[in-house]
Structures are given as structure tokens and as C-alpha cells.
Amino acid sequence: MDFFAAQAQARKRTHRLVLLFILAVLGTVLAGYAAAVFLLNQDPQHGLLIWWDPLLLAWTAGATTVVVGIASLYKWSQLRAGGAAVAELVGGRLVSGATTDPKERRLLNVVEEMAIASGIPMPVVYVLENESGLNAFAAGLTTSDAAVAVTRGLLDKLSRDELQGVIGHEFSHILNGDMRLNVRITAIVFGILVIGLLGRGILQSIGRGRGRSSSDDKKGGGVMVFLAVGLALMIIGYIGYFFGRLIQAAVSRQREFLADASAVQFTRNPEGISGALKKIGGYALEGNIADQHAPEIGHFFFAQAFKTSFSGLWATHPPLAERIRAVEARWDGAVFSPPKIVDIAHESSATAGFGGSPLNGNQAARSSAPLRFKPVEIVADIGALTKAHFRQAQTRLASIPLPLREATRAASTAQVLVYGLLLSDNPASRAQQHALIQKHAGTDSATVLASLDAALRALAPEARLPLLQLAFPVLRELKSTVLARFTTTLDALMHADNRVTPFEYALQKMLQRQLTLAANPRPQLQYDSFGAVRREIAIVLSALAHLSAKNSPAAFAEGTAQIPVIRNQITLLDPDASGLDQLDFALDKLAGSAWPIKQRVLVAAGHVIASDSTITVEEGELYRAIAATLDCPMPMLGLAN
């Protein structure tokens, strides 16, 4: 399933989830009505229950809906801060980019490779330090606020290949739109459960109150009423909870097979993920998570995170044996106990995450050769997990000078690194930019930049956006005042020579979009028809035609031919009507369009800038930035097929 089909499927699953939620709430309402009838609607003369009472039904339905709705909205608001909020809910500790722990560096290295290979911003990484079970999860609302978390047990007991398989599985969830659905499931299940929690709270308060109060007969009658209400709420709540857990399990299970298959496709190493699953099966704790919040997010995890009842009806994951056989058809059924702590002493420093190339003359050559480019194939690669892109990412990361890799680890140096990516090759312009950095960012930043100068000169152009991707986790931490100074400095650097290059625009737009989404990852309004965004499509294709093509009308026509439904309704706009300001507005609106529209726009844009089937590195970076603005993670370009 390609990226766009996966997003459409995730949207359909959301609709089904809403239907299941409505059915669960209806069941809870009926249970609540039955309890209310039993408690309140007895005929005093005949001792019979009056089952039909429209007013009582209305009050019961209204109260249930309000309570469940408020509770669900509360949980949604708690988790909508992004993947970091989910990781911290279960006791996750943020892994610093500056960590010297070899296992944590190895983990960061694997996540970096997969982020670059898949084209998404580097997720923040967490370790569940107090969890010895073997498990992991990815969480977030968008690719820009994603977090990847692993347990200490998984970090200690898995080999690098096995860790790679698990992280590949989690990246599949990131790319297939599963994360937002997972957050919605959590909010819904919590909303249904809260009625039972209210009942339990009432019963606990009665127990505490009885221990402190006298045996007053008058008080006893009131206590019995509250006791009855508490018991009724617990029964009602747990009826809803039963169905909520069924929803959680039903929506989750099938996606695990898809994520396992994607991990194998990504790494081309089925032994990695099957080895991880076998270790989980042979380990006494399996994937169990001790934190009290684990059942709330059990569907997030790589493996079953808690013991289930009802013969596996609540299991959020398929049986381990089924998952292993799906990736290793000839499995003999044997599982094995993992080592107490896996030995990573034999790994090289690069493999463990301490890599980075030395500076040398050969690397300083800044290639500008055109890249092979076929728009349909490139768009088909969006969201893809392939071995070729993974190997390309490993090669690219290994080529980046170590000082620049290290600069992505802290917010202060990451800002300076981004400044450095904008430095001109022209000595006079470069000197002017250094002066601007001194003026706007201060002496400390200028000093750090000077220390990175040699590494920046050695950096290949193709590695600039990957470095930006790696810097996103720490750049997201910038406070508003620091962020304002950072963006002011970037703007000054971009306009130092009174012109904005395609790469400068690409860097600024990509950075702006990712930081905005990370701070406020709300779903945008969906434009479901090409007609609703016809003007914006015309602006994007016109801007690219004027920017990249020698024959703008011909390039524009080649692009519009890819969108036949509006081909005759849009015309090439003048440069003044399709400048950078207009392009900004157009891309922001297109980001709220439906996935099929985004897919066709990217294909059309690719045809505009690549009429000769090749593009320059700068054009490729601009194209990737456009894709990122549309929330379509695009791998690095120039991959030979």
C-alpha cells in the first residue's frame, strides 16, 4: 500500500472508529437507563418497574453523552501536545542528543537513518527507563511531532539488527497515519471508562466516610443511596469499558501485520524483526509494561503490553507465533531467552552511532550534477520503506562531517548550523553573512560558526536538508523569544544579497512548516475538490515554471496535463502574481487538501521542474520542501533504480 492509499485508509478507519464509538456509547446509555429505571422508576403501589419513561431516557442519554464527551476531550487535549506527551505519560525519559551511553547512541543512530531514509523530521526519542519488558512504540499526531520510545529491556537485550527491525515497524506506523488514530482510540476508550471510574470513586469515598462517621440511622439511608449509585456507575462503566477495549483491539491488530511487513521491506532483513519477536516470546516478562497507564495506550506498542482477559478478545496484538510465521514462513516454533545485556562491544563506532566522516579534500567537492528524476516514480516513493533508500541514508549520514552531526544535538549549536547552511560560496557575501550573524545572534554564535566553517565547506549539497531533518528535535525546544531571534537572523541571511535562492526558500519553508506543526499539530480543513484549490495549484505550477524552466509556458502545460480535471481552467500566471509570498499562501492552503489532490499536485509540480527528466540539487531540495509542506515525507532524490 502506497503512502496516499495508506492515508486514505487511515481516514476510513477513523470513520469506522466513530461508528464503533457511537455504538459503545449507545450501549452505555441503555445500561444507564436500565439502572435508572431500577433505582428510580418503581411503581410504589404494585412494586413494578416502569420501563418506558421518555424523560428519564433523555436525561440518561444526555448525562452519559456529556460525561463521556468531556472525558474524551480531556484525554485528547492531554495527548494532542504530540508524541512526547504520550511517552511521558508512561514514564518516558527524553534521550539527549549529547548522550554518551553506547546503547542510546546506537538507538539514536538507527532512528536517524530511518528518518533520513523516509524523509520525515527526526522524531524525539525516549527510553522507558523503569520497564524491563521488551517493547516500543511511536506516537504523535503528525510526522512533525512524532516520538519513538523503547523500553530499557528492549535497549539492553536486542541486537542492532533486531532493534532496526523494531524501529522500522514503528516508522511504518508513523508513515501510515496510524499515530493520530491511536490517540483518538485512547481518548475514546478513556471517555467510556470514566463512568466506571466515577462509580469506583464514589464507593471509595463511602468506604472512607463510613470509617470516620457514626452509625446514625438517618445517615445510613443516604449512604445506601450513594452505594447503589456507585455500584450502578461501576457496572455501567465497565460494560462500556468492555466494548471500549474491544474497539481498541479490533482497530489495532491487523495493522501490526502491515507494520511487520513494512519493516522487512525497509531493512530487507526478516531475521531482525523475527529475532525481536522470538526474544519477546522467550522472555519471562515478554512485552509487559508495568506503568499504570499502559492499558490506555496498549494499542501503541510493538507487542502486547498487558495481560488480557476474555480469551484474548482484548488483545491489541496478534499472537506472536502468527507474526513470526508471517515474516519467517519456515519458522520451527523455537523462541529463545534474550541475554541479560546484549554485547555491543564488537560494533564499530559508526554502527553504534558515533560515526561521521573525517574532513578531507575529496569530500569538499560540492557536486552540482543534475539528478535523475521521474515525477511519478518519485511520488510513488513518498512514505515508502525500501532497502535502497535505507542504504542511501546510511551512506549520506556517514559522509557528513562529525562536527556537523554533533551540532544537531543541542539547540544552541543547531541554530548556528542552520545559519551555516545558508552561507554563500562567494567570499564577499559570506563575510557579510558572518557579520549579520554576529549582529543578530551574538558573539557566541559567531564563534561556534567559525568552528564549523571547515566542516560546512566540506559538506555536499545533497546533505543539507538531511542535516536540517536531524536538527528538528532540538529546534522544537526553542522558546518564543529565542525562536524570534533565530527566524530574524535567518531572514537577514536569506536577503543579504537581495535575492532568495530555491534552497534558501526551501530551507525556510520546511523549517517554518515543521516547527508550526510540532507546536500545534491540529488537523486542517479538508478541501476535497480540485476546484476549491484551483487558484493555489495555478500559483504553485506558475511559480515553478518561472523559477526552473527556460520555456515557462511549455513547462506549465506539461504540469497541468497531469491534472486533466482542471487543465483547461488554469493559466500561467505572471511572475508578480506567483511570487514567493503567493507561493507561501498557496502551499499553506494546499496543505489542507485531500490526499489525492496532494498526490496529483506533486506529480504536476515534478513535471514542471523536470521537463528534461533531470533536476538540479537546488530544484530537488525545493521540491522536497514543497512535499514536506504538504505533509508528504519524501526520501532523498537522485537514487539510481
The catalytic residues are 170
The span from the CA of 321 to the CA of 374, in Å, is: 41
Angle, CA of 576, 581 and 584, to the nearest 5°: 130
Q: Which three cell numbers stand for residue 89?
A: 505519560
Estimate to the nearest angstrom the gap between the alpha carbon of 279 and the chain centroid.
27
> Which of the 8 DSSP states describes residue 31?
H
> Which of the 8 DSSP states describes residue 573?
P
8 A C-beta contact, residue 28 and residue 225? no
Interhelix angle for 552-560 vs 534-548, to 10°?
A: 140
Beta bridge partners of 150: 127, 136
Angle, CA of 426, 432 and 436, to the nearest 5°: 135
Helix and strand numbers, DSSP H then E, in the chain: 25, 6
228-260 burial code (b ≥16 CB/10 A, e <16): ebbebbbbbbbbbbbbbbbbbbbbbbebbebbb
Q: Give the β-pairing of 136-139 and 147-151.
A: antiparallel
The span from the CA of 151 to the CA of 207, in Å, is: 38
Q: H-helix or E-strand containing 595? A: helix 595-609
8 A C-beta contact, residue 258 and residue 385? no
8 A C-beta contact, residue 154 and residue 166? yes
Instruction: List the beta strands (DSSP E) in 118-178.
Output: 124-128, 136-139, 147-151
Estimate to the nearest angstrom the gap between the alpha carbon of 385 and the chain centroid.
15
The span from the CA of 399 to the CA of 421, in Å, is: 16
Beta bridge partners of 136: 150
248: amino acid identity, one letter = Q
In 3D, which of 80, 130, 138, 131 has the Cα closest to residue 114?
138
Q: Give the β-pairing of 147-151 and 124-128.
A: parallel
- Kindly report the backbone phi and psi dihedral angles of residue 41, in degrees, each rounded to the nearest multiple of 5, phi listed first: -110, 50
Beta bridge partners of 615: 371
127 three-state secondary structure: strand
75: amino acid identity, one letter = K
Please provide the distance, in angstroms rounded to a whole number, between the alpha carbons at the two ends of the chain.
Answer: 20
8 A C-beta contact, residue 518 and residue 476? yes
Beta bridge partners of 357: 401
Report the half-sphere exposure of 183 (CA within 13 A, side-chain side). Answer: 31
The span from the CA of 420 to the CA of 164, in Å, is: 32
Q: How far is CA 244 from CA 28, 135, 410, in A?
A: 10, 23, 42
The span from the CA of 297 to the CA of 249, in Å, is: 11
Q: Which three cell numbers stand for residue 515?
A: 516547527
